[in-house]
Structure 1
């Protein structure tokens, strides 16, 4: 997702199994799952490759995310339990520390962004919505990482989650919905500004 494996790069299941210390069967099963999630593609007699990042997918991803991210934020605000809210508060503190320079580089911010999204998805208490959004967020993250060196506002984009997390913690579903919609729109606008 973070393009450590470059788009189009071949994947060798034997090498991956050896590097991870797993047998070939679990690696092949994982690659099948990644193919279903559009992160890898397999060609008979040619092999398995990391999928190319298609900028044309941005509009399609944004259409789906613009409907589902606000829904997830509102549901999280309504349904999050005390454990979820405590976890979101810890993430809010972590986010604040990252703005003080403790967040590290772009890779760390991308991982924090993914963690924040997944915490909100989990707080919806809807496993189907959670699975769907993780899949689309993974694809959106690949696009983000493709343009990371040309996007000056990564930290600002990630820190937009602060008010969103606060709205979820405070059970303000409508504010959470609006902030999530704005976040998705801002993501697409940022990418379009550099292509």
Structure 2
């Protein structure tokens, strides 16, 4: 049992590290993933690495081809509308549930994020990736706080795909400061149990994201 648990933990760690590299385009779209190099870089063996790659394939972040290998998937901007249709329904649901179900751990995590956000200037950073990482971190924390593992997994998948599109757009136009500033209002609504306010803020937030992406792309 120890070996299984260890292998699972290593696979999860490899998955999470590779996921962010793929989402934030540190591994470029279309780039081949060399298993030997990645194993050394992540300090994991072949078995947990391949488990991680299988998970990444289900998340549509990598694609494996027989006799060719595994590659980072392209960023498909044509699916922006489809992604937004899902997020505009499920993201407000997630924050509505989070506002009603906050447990002690989630409340502490969201409060800490709000405190950091209120004392930082992620939207004003010279590095657009800072704002993107803030957005992703806050959204993932809210998905988790909803207390529904299936909803969390679905939103993480679509949120990752949306963030890849955003990373592509960020090279052409920085993230609006207002988009990041909205997170403070959103977190405040969730922390104070204002579920309908939180849902409306998130609905507008997701809509503004799609509008901005269309203006840039």
Of 106, 111, 114, the residue aligned with 1:92 is: 114
Q: Is the contact between residue 103 and residue 109 of structure 1 (CA under 8 Å) also seen in structure 2?
A: yes
Per mean C-alpha deviation after superposition, the further-off stretch among 29-38 and 145-154 is: 145-154
Q: Is the contact between residue 92 and residue 162 of structure 1 (CA under 8 Å) also seen in structure 2?
A: yes
Question: Counterpart of 1:73?
Answer: 95
Question: Counterpart of 2:195?
Answer: 173
Question: Counterpart of 1:62?
Answer: 84
Which one scores higher on RCO, CA 8 angstroms, separation ≥ 6?
1
Q: CA deviation at 1:101?
A: 7.9
- With normalisation by structure 2, the TM-score equals 0.85
Per mean C-alpha deviation after superposition, the further-off stretch among 112-121 and 170-179 is: 112-121
Where does structure 2 lack aligned partners over 5 or more consecutive residues? 1-22
* Local SS of the residue matching 2:77: coil
Question: Counterpart of 2:56?
Answer: 34
Q: Is the contact between residue 73 and residue 173 of structure 1 (CA under 8 Å) also seen in structure 2?
A: yes
Deviations 1:123-166 (Å, cap 9, x if unpaired)? 11111111111111111110000111222334322221111100
Q: Is the contact between residue 151 and residue 190 of structure 1 (CA under 8 Å) also seen in structure 2?
A: no
Q: CA deviation at 1:76?
A: 0.5
Q: Is the contact between residue 40 and residue 49 of structure 1 (CA under 8 Å) also seen in structure 2?
A: yes
CA distance in 2, matches of 1:145, 1:152: 10
Q: Number of aligned pairs?
A: 195
Per mean C-alpha deviation after superposition, the further-off stretch among 171-180 and 101-110 is: 101-110
Question: Counterpart of 1:194?
Answer: 216
Q: CA deviation at 1:104?
A: 6.7
Question: Counterpart of 1:163?
Answer: 185
Over the aligned positions, Cα root-mean-square deviation in angstroms equals 1.6
Q: CA deviation at 1:100?
A: 7.7
Query: In the superposition, relative to structure 1, how do residues 106 and 67 fare at CA in structure 2: closer, same or farther (>3 Å)?
Result: same
Q: CA deviation at 1:29?
A: 1.1
CA distance in 1, matches of 2:123, 2:166: 21
Of 150, 154, 164, the residue aligned with 1:142 is: 164
Q: Is the contact between residue 92 and residue 202 of structure 2 (CA under 8 Å) also seen in structure 1?
A: yes
Query: In the superposition, relative to structure 1, how do residues 27 and 91 fare at CA in structure 2: closer, same or farther (>3 Å)?
Result: same
Question: Counterpart of 1:52?
Answer: 74
Where does structure 1 lack aligned partners over 5 or more consecutive residues? none
Q: Is the contact between residue 91 and residue 116 of structure 1 (CA under 8 Å) also seen in structure 2?
A: yes
